[in-house]
């Protein structure tokens, strides 16, 4: 597998929601009304549902921790991701160790300990962090940086060692070519289908402009969305398509051209700081006219976007909205508020999801044997209700989660029917 060029963009604030993580209005995935056989955040009225099938009814207790590695950007251009990840780690350790008395490993309750590694927003550092996590005895590795390019060097280390790599990255080629890697976030192909249908069937444009950051992975996603849009309606005209360098601060030259073309829809693929700059700079240029902006990346990547004057009317994807969704999603919001004194953002479920997946794979395997945990994660039997909704990971490592679209109206997220 060739290494991707070095580049880094901030996603969360969860990617990234990547650990101040954001709000949702409906359940994620394709079975939001199902009751999970194994809940991630147990619902108080149905505690029995939290018992993993692979464990014994009564667990003994051990003080030996189960180590899980967390690779994320704690320094460099994407350092905000590390700050966000810390919140998710603290919550996960509090929930499992204090509220649940540990994770159930083959009938033994053991504390979970997350070891943090800085990839410094660099490909080489991501590989070094993965090697260090294995040397430190981590049973699984999670996350992997705020851009898809950092997944490959991590998987290059974990896959030959038969170690689970659970990530919120969902690049199809990572999952297709590495057999012990799973995505605990969206199903990319299903998400791209959702975007194309929103544009064609809901917004019904005659003209579309496309604008995103210049990464091969992101350009490929935009290309696939364009193909899906034109397949649904060949009469749509693409009037503008441009990709900007990751270090771009002044978007006004691009936005001026977009306003000149005056498309019905502007499809964007950007990171959190870019979205906020775009919103502000377009207002400085006189506003959006009747252009409808459709974001391709999670709304959690740009926190409080719904409050920004330049974002009113935008269509943005979410996977979590406070107070809505499956029992585990509702319970997650309650538990997060109990721990932190405030509601979670829509980014928090995204960044915590790989941590949950790793724990659930260990419990399903009933052991901390690395190879058996990695195999359990790809067995097709890893399914549970989660902060992102009812989540099932297939034998191909892909999840069933798609999310949904909301529109920013009057400072709030309104579900798009």
- pLDDT at residue 179 greater than cutoff 90: yes
Check: CB of residue 167 under 8 Å from CB of residue 144. yes
pLDDT of residue 31: 34
Q: Could you give the residue ranges of the DSSP H alpha helices within 206-320?
A: 216-232, 252-261, 272-284
Question: Model confidence over 13-58: pLDDT tens digits?
Answer: 333 333 333 332 233 333 333 333 333 444 333 333 343 444 444 5
- Mean pLDDT value across residues 377-390: 96
User: DSSP strand E in 235-377: where?
Assistant: 237-244, 265-269, 292-295, 315-318
Whose structure tokens read 């902006």? 293
Question: Could you give the C-alpha distances from 62 to 20, 47, 66, 139, 374, in angstroms and in order?
Answer: 32, 22, 10, 16, 23
- Residue 56: which residues within 8 A CB-CB, separation 6 or more? 106, 107
Q: Reading across the β-sheet that carries 292-295, which strands appear in turn?
A: 237-244, 207-213, 265-269, 292-295, 315-318, 404-409, 412-415
Q: What is the pLDDT of residue 323?
A: 80
When pLDDT is cut at 50, 70 and 90, the band that residue 360 belongs to is very high
- % residues pLDDT > 90 (the chain): 61
Q: What residue has token string 């014994």?
A: 56
In angstroms, rounded to a whole number, what is the distance separating the alpha carbons of residues 304 and 299?
Answer: 9
What are 265-302's pLDDT values in tens digits?
999 987 666 888 899 999 999 999 999 999 988 755 55
Domains and CATH numbers, the chain: 47-185+325-399 (3.40.50.2300), 189-318 (3.40.50.2300)
What three-state secondary structure class fits 64?
coil
Higher pLDDT, 415 or 28: 415
Which of the pair, 172 or 51, is modelled with greater confidence? 172
Diameter of the chain measured on Cα atoms: 68
| Contact in structure between 246 and 214 (CB atoms under 8 Å) | yes
pLDDT at 68: 98
Whole-number pLDDT of residue 352: 94
> What is the predicted pLDDT for the residue at 59?
58
The dihedral sign for the CA sequence 36, 327, 188, 231: positive
pLDDT at 299: 59
Please give the distance of CA 169 from its chain centroid, rounded to a whole number.
6
CB burial of 178-217 (b: ≥16 within 10 Å; e: otherwise) equals bebbbbbbbbbebbbbbbbebbbeeeebebbbbbbbebeb
Beta strands in 78-139 (DSSP E): 103-105, 108-110, 112-118
What percentage of the chain reaches a pLDDT higher than 70?
83
Whether this model's pTM surpasses 0.85 = no
Structure-block tokens of residue 359: 């724990």
> What pLDDT does residue 337 have?
96
Residue 289: its pLDDT value, please?
92
How much is the average pLDDT of 157-167?
97
| 3-state secondary structure (DSSP) of residue 15 | strand
What is the pLDDT at residue 48? 36
Angle at 31 between CA 25 and CA 36, to 5 degrees: 100
Question: Which class for 309: exposed (0-12), middle (13-18), buried (19 or more C-beta within 10 A)?
Answer: exposed
For residue 106, the tally of other CB atoms under 10 A from its CB is 18
Q: What pLDDT is recorded for position 272?
A: 63
């Amino acid at each position: 597998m060739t290494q991707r060029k070095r580049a880094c963009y901030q996603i969360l604030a969860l990617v990234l929601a990547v650990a101040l993580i954001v709000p949702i209005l409906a359940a994620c995935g394709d079975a939001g009304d199902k009751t999970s056989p194994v809940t991630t955040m147990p619902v108080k009225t149905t505690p029995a549902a939290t018992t993993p099938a692979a464990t014994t009814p009564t667990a003994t207790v051990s003080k030996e921790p189960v180590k899980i590695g967390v690779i994320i950007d704690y320094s460099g251009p994407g350092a905000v991701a590390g700050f966000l990840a810390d919140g998710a780690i603290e919550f996960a350790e509090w929930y499992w160790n204090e509220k649940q008395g540990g994770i159930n490993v083959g009938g033994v309750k053991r504390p979970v300990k997350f070891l943090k590694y800085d990839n410094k927003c660099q490909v080489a550092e991501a590989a070094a962090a993965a090697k260090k996590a294995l040397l430190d005895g981590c049973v699984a590795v999670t996350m992997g940086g705020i851009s898809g390019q950092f997944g490959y060097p991590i998987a290059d280390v974990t896959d030959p060692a038969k170690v689970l790599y659970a990530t919120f990255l969902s690049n199809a080629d990572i999952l297709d070519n590495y057999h012990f890697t799973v995505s605990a976030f969206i199903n990319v192909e299903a998400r791209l289908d959702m975007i194309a249908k929103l544009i064609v069937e809901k917004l019904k444009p005659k003209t579309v402009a496309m604008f995103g950051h210049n990464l091969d992975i992101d350009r490929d996603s935009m290309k696939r969305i364009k193909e899906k849009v034109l397949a649904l309606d060949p009469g749509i005209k693409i009037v503008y398509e441009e990709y900007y360098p990751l270090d771009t601060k002044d978007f006004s030259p691009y936005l001026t051209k977009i306003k000149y073309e005056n498309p019905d829809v502007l499809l964007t693929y950007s990171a959190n700081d870019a979205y906020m700059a775009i919103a502000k700079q377009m207002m400085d240029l006189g506003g959006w006219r009747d252009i409808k902006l459709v974001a391709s990346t999670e709304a959690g990547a740009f926190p409080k976007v719904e409050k920004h004057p330049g974002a009113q009317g935008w269509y943005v994807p979410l996977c979590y909205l406070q107070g809505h969704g499956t029992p585990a999603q509702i319970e997650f919001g309650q538990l997060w508020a109990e721990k932190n004194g405030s509601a979670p953002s829509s980014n928090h479920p995204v960044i915590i999801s790989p941590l949950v997946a790793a724990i659930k794979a260990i419990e399903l395997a009933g052991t901390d044997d690395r190879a058996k945990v990695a195999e359990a994660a790809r067995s097709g039997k890893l399914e549970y209700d989660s902060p992102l909704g009812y989540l099932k990971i297939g034998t191909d490592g892909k999840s069933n989660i798609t999310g949904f679209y909301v529109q920013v109206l009057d400072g709030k997220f309104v579900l798009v029917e």
